[in-house]
Amino acid sequence: MARRRRTYAVSGAEQGMQAFKAETMRREGYPVDPARPDEVKYEVARDLGVPLQPGGNGGLTTESAGRVGGRIGGSMVREMIRLARESLADRSPQ
């Protein structure tokens, strides 16, 4: 199966999203190389006991892959919600 290449709805958003992922996962305690923020998935996989390796992962179950992606995506969503709440609180009259 060919690797899927995700595209963003907003042109040029990929770099910002990668930086956001790196900062979010750094806050979660993972070492993140700013030049390669996508590599944090291997650290997350190692913590979760998922045998994710660079290259082919054809034997990886959907559940295992979902655990890794869910940990990263869930952290990003929680951070987005926190930022939105802060923004709303800053705008509300006191």
42-54 pLDDT, tens digit each: 999 999 999 998 8
Residue 31, both tokens: 């070492």
Query: What residues of the chain score a pLDDT lower than 50?
Result: 1
In a domain, 8, yes or no: no
In a domain, 1, yes or no: no
Which structural domain range is residue 38 located in?
Answer: 13-53+61-91
pLDDT of residue 38: 83
In a domain, 2, yes or no: no
Count: domains in the chain: 1
pLDDT of residue 57: 85
In a domain, 7, yes or no: no
pLDDT of residue 1: 47
In a domain, 4, yes or no: no
